[in-house]
Every structure is written in structure tokens, then in C-alpha cells.
Amino acid sequence: MDAVDRQALVRALAEEGVEGARRLLAESAAKDRELKERLERLRERLRRQASRRVGRLLDDFDRRADELESVQRRSDEEVAARIAALEARLKEARAIDFSKLPSLDLLDDVRSALLLPDASWNRPPPPPSILERLRAAFARFVAWLRGLFGRKKAKTSAERRGRRIPIAIASANGRTLGASELGDALARLSGPQRDELTQSMTRSLKSRERDLEKEAEEKRRTAEAQRKRLEEERAEAERRARERTESEIRAGEERRLERELKERGFVAERGGELAVTYGLVERFARLLLEEESRQLPGDVRLSLKGGGATGVYEKARLQRAEEIAHLDLPSSLLAARLAGLRHIDESTSYIYREVTSERVHVVLAFDRSGSMEESGKLEAAKKALLALYVAVRRRHPDATIDLLAFDNDVRVMDLVELWECPAGAFTNTAEALRAAHLLLRASRATRRELYLITDGLPEAYTGDDGRVRSGQLDVAMEHALERARELATISPLRTTMILLKSEHPEYEAAARAIARTIGGDLVVTDPGHLGVELLVRWAHGTETERRLVAPAPAPAVRPSTGGAKGRRRRADRRMGG
């Protein structure tokens, strides 16, 4: 922030907050090559810090991709080996010789083929035809006759030619081989059945090979989908990491900016958010005073320099930049250390200030009703009051200054609250005059002044029960005039009422009646000229203070001669009314 114009920074912070400081920094970097290089070095350092984390994240994804590729490679090798073994067994099965037992590799395949339920040797024999039944009956009769006459016994049915003995039998665990050995079972097979067995084994081996190929293909597709999904996750993680890196770079810049602003006392944490400090608003007010002073006449500008001194000094806080020459360095250093600060700032600076002879009490009241938000009137009033506040402090450092903002109610504010004050509801002028009367009545100052800024009619009033009512303009005006008559009893008192120009003539008539009742001046001006009008009235305040030694008579008892009225009108015109 050392490369940024200090006054521009103060203005940007006051008007736009921290966002204004960021905007100003970006604009300054575009014009200042050195500042731009410093920002780039800061960003590069933050980027290097973030890139290490991005690298670790991408390395993890690469490691997972390598593991997935390694698993897929092992799976492909395993499937290829199994398919090769199946091909060898298939080749052996096609050349099998059933005259002897097959090799051990084919034993399970042979058993499986023999146990196929739809194999011809496992199907039950077809039922005998009528002719076969007759032949069988005749054969049994012949066998009976032979046995009857002592002939040789006929062969058992198990030894008869063409009788099939099933190889597979049913069991509790399914179909299995019978009591015969595998060789005996194979020996019972006919040539066609052996061919059928070979084909069954070949089909089984081919089916298993196809299943293996399908399984391998499914694994490859799954692995490819996993790889593709991993690549997408990696790309998305990298994109998010890059975005997070840029976000962290911006956050790092913002933290650095906020830290420097805090170190300079421009902003502070308030309610979990950054807010401008009293010191910043005061600096901004001094800038506004300098700008407004350029529009003042030379004699008025000189009269804002300072007041009469007494030669007596007192130790007090720093309030003006020009007082730095009278800095009490030991006290300031001690205050800074006690506050935990490394450097002296405005809040810990003590100076020796010469006491002035005049005691001053100024009340600055401004209308913050909803209508003030139109056409920038509220912002103009804030800036004008800030400039006037600094002008009063510059001339009378020990002056009592009360800032009042009024709409339905009246609130006493400091400079920060004044600058951040939003628009409110209706205009309760009577309550503002009552608050000013209470403050000035209790004051022991030799010079008391009231500046009241408004833009319209009294719209609300506070009843005897303490409730605020609105909508009855005539009653609100009566309350305002009553409070004005109370205020007119204070002496010495100089009152300046500022009415921001309006298209409604009744506004000026009401403001003039209130100002006349108090015995003060009325100024009708536009928002852009408001600051100059206030400073002119303040610069001529000493002469007016000498004229107002006695309290001004109340308007109700003033003579109503035409000459007095004419002089009053001429005085109003001279003062801008």
C-alpha cells in the first residue's frame, strides 16, 4: 500500500469500503510498473505454495491409475494363460484314444461329458414294441420248456446281446458314475457314442474358452471404464485445484491488503467484518475540508486556521496533522506498547496543545428521513458535516461537538456512525430541536452554535405519551415551533438552518418560520454547495457571537412593523435564504 496515493486510498476506503481499496490497488498496479511487479511476486509465491498441494493431489491420481493398469495387465496375463491351457486340452481332446484311459488333465472333462443328462448312453431305453414283447414272451416260454425237460439254462438278461447298462445313476447329490471304473464305462461305449463323447468334450472346452474370453472382455471394459472415470476425476480434481489455487491467491492478496490496512489503522474488525475506523473517517473529513476550502474566499479560508491562544499547554491526543510537531514521544511510545502495537498511530499519539481562551459547543443536526436519500442529499449532508466537524476541531481542538441524526427519533453519533448512517423514516424536526435545546442548555461554553440540515416539512412529532406520530403536518409544525421557542431562550446561541432546495414552496415557508422563531439564519441551497455554506457560516461565527450576547427575543413578542420585517427579509437574502 506504500505505492498507492494516500489521499486516494482514504477516499476509496471511506466511500466504498475495502472493495474501494482493492479497486484502487488494481488501478494503481495498471499504472505503476513497480507495484505491478510486487503484486506478481506475491502471487507467484502464493502460487508456488498452492502448486505443491496440487502436485500431491495429481500424484495420488497417477498412483491409482498405475495400480489399475497393473491389475488389468495381471488379469489379461492370467486369462491368456487359462485360454492357452484350454486350447491345449481342446487339442488333446480332439485326438483322444478311448481304448485306454485319458490323461489326468482330461479326466474331469471326460467325467463331465459322461454325466451329461442328454447323452445317448444316459437316456433310458425306449419301451419295447409289441413284436419285441412277443419275442421276449416266446423266449421265456422256450426257456421254461428247456428247463422243464432238463435242457441247458438260458443266459441271463444281463448277458444278452444289445442290452444297455446305464453308466450314470441317480444319487442324492445328482447324477454320478456307477460302480464301474471309468475305463469299463468307456469300454461299453460304441463307436458313435465315443464320437459323441469327443464332441461333447470339445463343445464343453470351447464353451469354457468363450466364457473366459467374455469374462476377460468384461474385465477389460470394467477396467477401461474405471480408467476413464479416474481420468475424469483427475481432470475435475485438477480443475478444482487450479480454481482453488487462484481463489487462494486472491484470498492471500486480500489478507495482505487487509493486514496492511489494519496496521495503518484504516479498518478494524467489527461484528466479524471489516469496517472503517474513526481515524480513517477523520482523515477523510480533513480531505473534504481541503476540497471545500478551495471554493471559499481568501479571507474566509484564513479565518479557519485557528483561535486565540493563552500560552498554557496541556497533554492531549493528536487531533490534527499539523499538531505532530508538538508530539510527546515518550508518552506516545508507552501508549503504543500498552496497546500491543508495533508503531505509533493516531490512537496512541499524545501532543502538547496550547489551550485556547474560548470555549465552544457546536451541535450539528441533520435530517436522515427517507426523502434525504433522493438526489444524493444524505451523502452531501454527511460530507458537509464531516468537513465542518474538522473545521471546528482545527480552530478549537477542545470544542464540544454533538452530532445528531433525526428522523422519527434523534440519535447522537460519532464520526463513523455519521458516515455509515442510513436513511430512516419521517422528519421529526421538533424532537431534533428538543435534543439540541437539552444539550446546549446544559453547556457552559461561551460560544454555542446550532447547524440544522433538512430538506422538507416537519412530518412527525412526539406526543405526550412518548409515541411518535406522523401524517398530521399542521400538528407536527406546531410542535416544531414550540420547540423552537424553547431553543430561543438559550443565550448566547447562533443558529443556522440549512434547507436543501425543493420544488415545493411551502417547504421554504415552514423552514423560514422555524428559523425566525429561533432567531437564527435560514440558508436555502443545493446539495453540491452545502459544504461551502456551512464553512462560511462557521468562519463568520466569531463576529456573530459578539452580537448575540443577550438572547434573541422570541418571535411572538417582536414588533410587527414593516421595517423590521423588511430588515429580516434582507438579512435572509444576504445569508442565502
Domain of residue 183 covers: 98-202
What is the model's pLDDT at position 182? 67
Question: What's the CA angle centered on 436, arms 431 and 441, to 5 degrees?
Answer: 125
421 contact partners, CB below 8 Å, separation of at least 6: 368, 378, 382, 405, 413
Name the DSSP class of 321.
G
CA distance 405 to 271: 23
Alpha helix (H) residue ranges in 264-328: 278-293, 298-303
Residue 446 belongs to some domain of the structure: yes
- Percent helix, strand, coil in the chain, to 5, is 60, 15, 25
Do the domain assignments include residue 140?
yes
For every residue of 346-359, DSSP letters joined together read GGG-EEEEEEES--
What is the predicted pLDDT for the residue at 202? 85
Q: Across residues 351-374, what is the average pLDDT?
A: 85
Instruction: Give the residue ranges of DSSP H helices in 190-277.
Output: 191-263
- Joined together, the cell numbers standing for residue 429 give 424536526
User: Per the domain annotation, does 116 fall within a domain?
Assistant: yes
Q: pLDDT class for 381, splitting at 50, 70, 90?
A: very high
Domain termination site, one of 182, 202, 222:
202
242 lies in a domain?
no
Mean pLDDT of the 532-549 span:
61
Of the listed ranges 26-30, 66-70, 119-123, 176-180, the one predicted with least confidence: 176-180
User: Which residues contact residue 512 at a Cβ distance below 8 angstroms, ignoring those fewer than 6 apart?
Assistant: 522, 572, 577
pLDDT of res. 57: 81
Residue 86 has pLDDT above 90, yes or no: no
Q: What is the pTM for the complete model shown? A: 0.60
pLDDT higher than 70, residue 71: yes
The reported pLDDT for the residue numbered 405 is 95
Last residue of a domain, one of 202, 236, 261: 202
Backbone angles phi, psi at 470, to 5 degrees: -140, 165
**Final residue of a domain: which of 173, 202, 231?**
202
pLDDT, one tens digit per residue, over 492-516 is: 999 999 999 888 888 999 999 999 9
Position with higher pLDDT, 529 vs 573? 529
pLDDT > 70 in the chain, percent? 82
354 is written with which cell numbers? 496550547
Q: What's the mean pLDDT in 187-214? A: 81
Residue 378: CATH number of its domain: 3.40.50.410
Q: What is the spatial distance between Cα 224 and Cα 227, in angstroms, rounded to a whole number? A: 5
423 lies in a domain? yes
Minimum mean pLDDT range among 160-174, 404-418, 458-472, 499-513: 160-174
The residue with greater pLDDT, 573 or 496, is: 496
Per-residue pLDDT tens digits for 314-346:
788 887 666 777 888 888 888 888 888 888 877
Has residue 516 been placed in a domain?
yes
* Residue 202 burial (C-beta neighbours within 10 Å; 0-12, 13-18, 19+): middle
Can you tell me whether residue 307 is helix, strand or coil? coil
pLDDT beyond 60 at 556: no
Q: What is the mean pLDDT of residues 75-87?
A: 85
Tell me whether residue 525 is in a domain. Answer: yes
Evaluate whether residue 172 is within a structural domain.
yes
Predicted confidence band at 433 (pLDDT cuts at 50, 70, 90)?
A: very high
Domain count, the chain: 2
What is the average per-residue pLDDT within 154-183? 50
Any idea which residue has 442548555 for its cell? 441
Q: How confident is the model at residue 461 (pLDDT cuts 50, 70, 90)?
A: very high
pLDDT of residue 430: 95
| pLDDT higher than 60, residue 542 | no
436: enclosing H helix or E strand: helix 429-441
Of the ranges 117-126, 172-181, 279-288, 482-491, which one carries the lowest mean pLDDT score?
172-181
Residue 442 has pLDDT above 60, yes or no: yes
CA atoms of 378 and 518, how far apart (whole Å): 24
